[in-house]
Structure 1
Amino acid sequence: MGRRPDIITAVATAPGRGGVGIVRISGPDLSSLAATLGNGKLPPPRQAIFGSFHDSDGRLIDEGLLLYFPAPHSFTGEDVIEMQGHGGPVVMQLLLARALSLGARLAEPGEFTQRAFLNDKMDLAQAEAVADLIEASTVAAARSAVRSLSGVFSDAIGDVRDQLIDLRMLVEATLDFPEEEIDFLAAARAVERMQAIAAALRDILDRAEQGALLRQGLHVVLVGQPNVGKSSLLNQLAGHERAIVTDIAGTTRDALKETIQLAGIPLHIIDTAGLRDTGDTVERIGIERTWKEIEDADVIVRIVDARHGITSEDEGIDARLPSGVPRITVENKCDLAQLDTQLTETDQSTRIRLSAKTGDGITLLREHLLKLAGWHPHSEDVFFARKRHLGALSSALAHVETALEQNQALELMAEELRQSHDALGEITGEFTPDDLLGEIFSRFCIGK
Structure 2
Amino acid sequence: MALHADSDTIVACATPPGRGGVAIVRLSGPRACALAESVAGRLPPARQAVLRALRDLDGGLIDRGLVLWFQAPHSFTGEDVVEFQVHGSPVVVEMLLRALAHRGARAADPGEFSQRAFLNGRMDLAQAEAVADLVASASAEGARAAIRSLEGELSAGVTALIDGLAACRARLEAGLDFPEEGVDEFSDPGLDAELGRLLAAIDGLRESAARGRVLRDGMTLVIAGAPNVGKSSLLNRLAGYEAAIVTELPGTTRDLVREDILIDGMPVRVVDTAGLRASDDRVEAEGMRRAHAAMQAADLVLLVREAGDDTASGSAETPLPGRGQGEPGEAATDPGTAALPEGIPVLHIRNKIDLAGQPAGEAEDVAGIHVIHLSALTGDGLELLREHLKRVAGYTGEAGGACSARGRHLVALDRGRHHLDTARTALLEGATAELAAEDLRLAQQALGEITGEVTTEDLLGRIFSEFCIGK
| TM norm. shorter chain > 0.5 | yes
Matched, 1:380 2:381: no
- Matching residue of 1:213: 214
Q: 1:140 to 1:45 in 2, by over 3 A?
A: same
Matched, 1:423 2:446: yes
1:366 counterpart (376, 386, 410) = 386
Q: 1:52 to 1:98 in 2, by over 3 A?
A: same
8 Å contact 2:40–2:55 — kept in the other structure? no
Q: 1:172 to 1:8 in 2, by over 3 A?
A: same
In structure 2, stretches of 5+ residues that fail to align are 320-335
- Matching residue of 1:305: 306
Matched, 1:275 2:276: yes
- 1:213 Cα deviation from its structure 2 partner: 1.4
Deviating more after overlay: 315-324 vs 429-438 = 315-324
- 1:193 Cα deviation from its structure 2 partner: 0.2
2:414 counterpart (394, 408, 422) = 394
Pairwise mapping of residues 115-134 of structure 1 onto structure 2 (< 5 A)? Answer: 115-134=116-135
- Matching residue of 1:37: 39
SS at match of 2:174: helix
Q: 1:64 to 1:197 in 2, by over 3 A?
A: same
- Matching residue of 1:411: 434
Distance of 2:173 and 2:466 partners within structure 1 = 40
Deviating more after overlay: 344-353 vs 68-77 = 344-353
Pairwise mapping of residues 318-337 of structure 1 onto structure 2 (< 5 A)? Answer: 319-337=338-356
- 1:314 Cα deviation from its structure 2 partner: 8.3
Q: 1:84 to 1:379 in 2, by over 3 A?
A: closer
Q: CA RMSD in A?
A: 2.0
Distance of 2:134 and 2:229 partners within structure 1 = 39
SS at match of 1:336: helix
- 1:65 Cα deviation from its structure 2 partner: 0.8
Distance of 2:37 and 2:15 partners within structure 1 = 23
In structure 1, stretches of 5+ residues that fail to align are none
1:351 counterpart (357, 360, 371) = 371
SS at match of 2:354: coil
Distance of 1:377 and 1:416 partners within structure 2 = 37
Distance of 1:97 and 1:406 partners within structure 2 = 63
- Matching residue of 2:325: none
Q: 1:59 to 1:76 in 2, by over 3 A?
A: same
Deviating more after overlay: 403-412 vs 191-200 = 403-412
Distance of 1:252 and 1:259 partners within structure 2 = 18
Matched, 1:7 2:21: no
Residue type matched to 1:343 in 2? E
Q: 1:309-346: CA deviations, max 9, x gaps? A: 32899833384310111101101111111112221226
TM-score, length-normalised on structure 1? 0.95
Distance of 2:358 and 2:310 partners within structure 1 = 12
SS at match of 2:168: helix
Distance of 1:182 and 1:5 partners within structure 2 = 50
- Matching residue of 1:60: 61
8 Å contact 1:167–1:190 — kept in the other structure? yes
- Matching residue of 2:169: 168
- 1:182 Cα deviation from its structure 2 partner: 5.7
- 1:375 Cα deviation from its structure 2 partner: 3.1
Distance of 1:251 and 1:201 partners within structure 2 = 50
- 1:19 Cα deviation from its structure 2 partner: 0.8
1:18 counterpart (9, 20, 24) = 20
Q: 1:187 to 1:285 in 2, by over 3 A?
A: closer
1:440 counterpart (442, 456, 463) = 463
- Matching residue of 1:46: 47
Residue type matched to 1:366 in 2? R
Q: How many residues align structurally?
A: 447
8 Å contact 1:307–1:333 — kept in the other structure? no
Residue type matched to 1:399 in 2? H
Distance of 1:46 and 1:182 partners within structure 2 = 56
SS at match of 2:66: strand
- Matching residue of 1:159: 160
- Matching residue of 2:358: 339
Distance of 1:184 and 1:4 partners within structure 2 = 47
Residue type matched to 2:6 in 1? R
Residue type matched to 2:447 in 1? L
8 Å contact 1:126–1:151 — kept in the other structure? yes
Q: 1:400-427: CA deviations, max 9, x gaps? A: 1001111242111110111111111111
SS at match of 1:406: helix
- 1:186 Cα deviation from its structure 2 partner: 3.7
- Matching residue of 2:251: 250
SS at match of 2:317: helix
Residue type matched to 1:275 in 2? L
- 1:371 Cα deviation from its structure 2 partner: 2.2
- 1:365 Cα deviation from its structure 2 partner: 1.3
Q: 1:123 to 1:229 in 2, by over 3 A?
A: same
Residue type matched to 1:123 in 2? D
Distance of 2:17 and 2:452 partners within structure 1 = 31
Residue type matched to 1:330 in 2? I
Q: 1:184-242: CA deviations, max 9, x gaps? A: 55446000000000110011111111211111111100011111011111111112222
Q: 1:44 to 1:37 in 2, by over 3 A?
A: farther
SS at match of 2:344: coil
Residue type matched to 1:306 in 2? A
SS at match of 2:91: helix
- Matching residue of 1:77: 78
- 1:30 Cα deviation from its structure 2 partner: 3.2
Distance of 1:76 and 1:277 partners within structure 2 = 58
Deviating more after overlay: 110-119 vs 400-409 = 400-409
Residue type matched to 2:132 in 1? A
8 Å contact 1:326–1:372 — kept in the other structure? no
8 Å contact 1:225–1:314 — kept in the other structure? no
Aligned sequence identity (%): 48
SS at match of 1:247: coil
8 Å contact 2:316–2:339 — kept in the other structure? no
TM-score, length-normalised on structure 2? 0.90
